[in-house]
Every structure is written in C-alpha cells, then in structure tokens.
C-alpha cells in the first residue's frame, strides 16, 4: 500500500519536471527604461502569410493578456514591435550503443566448455531536428524619428517544431515574460 501511494505521488512530479524546454535570448538597451504602460503598435507587413496573420493575432492576444497597452494606429504608439518567424532543420548524427553477448560452446577431448563474452556494439544513425524560431524587435518611436534605428529590446525563442506547434501560445507568453530584461537560457514552458 505504501509503495502504491509513493508511486501515485512520484509520477505526477516526474511529468511536471519534464515539460518542454525552449531557448530564450533577450537583450535590452541599458540606457532605456521599460514600462508596461508604453503604447505598443505591432507591425504586420503588407500581404502577410496566413502563418504571419495567425502569429500576429496570437502575439496581440498574449500581450493584451499580460497587460501590455496595444494600439492599432502607429502614430499613437510609443513603441513599434516587429516580429519574424523562421525555422531551421539540421541533420544530427549520433550513435546507439547496444549490449551484445556471444556464447561459444565446444568440446576439447572429453571436456565440454561454454563461454559467454559480453560487450557492446555501436550503431551510427542520423535524424533531422527542426527548430521553430521567433524574433521580436522593439523600437522606440521617438528615438527612431531622431534617426536612432537601434532596437531598445530584442527577444528570441527557439523550440523544437513539435513542442512549438503544440505549445505556441506558451512559447510566446514565456518570451514576453522577459520583456525589458537581459536573459539567455533554456527554460521550461510548462
């Protein structure tokens, strides 16, 4: 009975600690102070793809949910947020190491023998891994009008395609948690 209770308590902890991991990188202009009260216009390029339209709507929704002040007219904005989406597929080579054992039997004269030798064999394999990438660049409108075209904040998130497609909203929300901060590390999104 105690083993069953221990197992029931341990299994959920295992799954909680093993959520999808993503890589987030953000950086700020150290001379700039950030505020959630800044009015932000999210730029959507002319003739966007369906993927870009859907991402724009998701980004806008997540920013609204987190309390950002989203405006729909660029002239009313303090900041302009640009986004771009990308993906990269890489072939990754690795090796399986499998245990092996060989048994030899025989007879020498009247003596029978049986010997087992253990070891391992290495099998090379290659697999493809696709990373979905989101880039966010935030510009201060006043600085841009003065000729400074350097972003005041940049954000990036990279996630395996399957995790990104399953948890797109959580990926975006996690990236926005680092708004106005410097950060770079792998984090769990669940």
Phi, psi of 21 (to 5 degrees): -110, 140
**Global model pTM greater than 0.85:** no
Any idea which fold 21-89+133-188 has? Double Stranded RNA Binding Domain (3.30.160)
For the chain, the structural domain boundaries read 21-89+133-188, 93-125
Helices and strands: H and E segment counts in the chain:
5, 7
pLDDT digits (tens, 9 = 90+) for 23-43: 999 999 998 888 878 999 999
pLDDT digits (tens, 9 = 90+) for 71-103: 999 999 999 999 999 999 999 898 888 888 888
- C-alpha span between 77 and 64 (Å, rounded): 15
Residues 72/41, Cβ–Cβ less than 8 Å: yes
């Amino acid at each position: 009975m105690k083993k069953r209770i221990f197992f029931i308590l341990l299994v959920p902890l295992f799954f909680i600690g093993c959520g999808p991991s993503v890589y987030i990188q953000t950086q700020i202009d150290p001379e700039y102070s950030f505020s959630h009260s800044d009015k932000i216009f999210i730029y959507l390029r002319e003739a966007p793809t369906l993927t870009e339209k859907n991402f724009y709507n998701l980004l806008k929704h997540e920013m609204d949910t987190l309390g950002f002040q989203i405006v729909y007219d660029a002239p009313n904005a303090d900041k302009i947020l640009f986004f771009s989406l990308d993906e990269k597929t890489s072939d990754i080579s690795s090796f399986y190491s499998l245990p092996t054992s060989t048994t030899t039997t025989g007879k020498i004269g009247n003596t029978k023998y049986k010997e087992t030798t253990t070891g391992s064999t290495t099998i090379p394999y290659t697999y493809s891994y696709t990373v979905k990438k989101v880039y966010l660049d935030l510009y201060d409108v006043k600085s841009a009008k003065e000729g400074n075209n350097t972003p005041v904040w940049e954000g990036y998130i990279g996630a395996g395609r399957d995790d990104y497609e399953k948890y797109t909203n959580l990926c975006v929300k996690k990236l926005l948690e680092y708004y106005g901060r410097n950060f770079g590390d792998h984090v769990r999104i669940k």
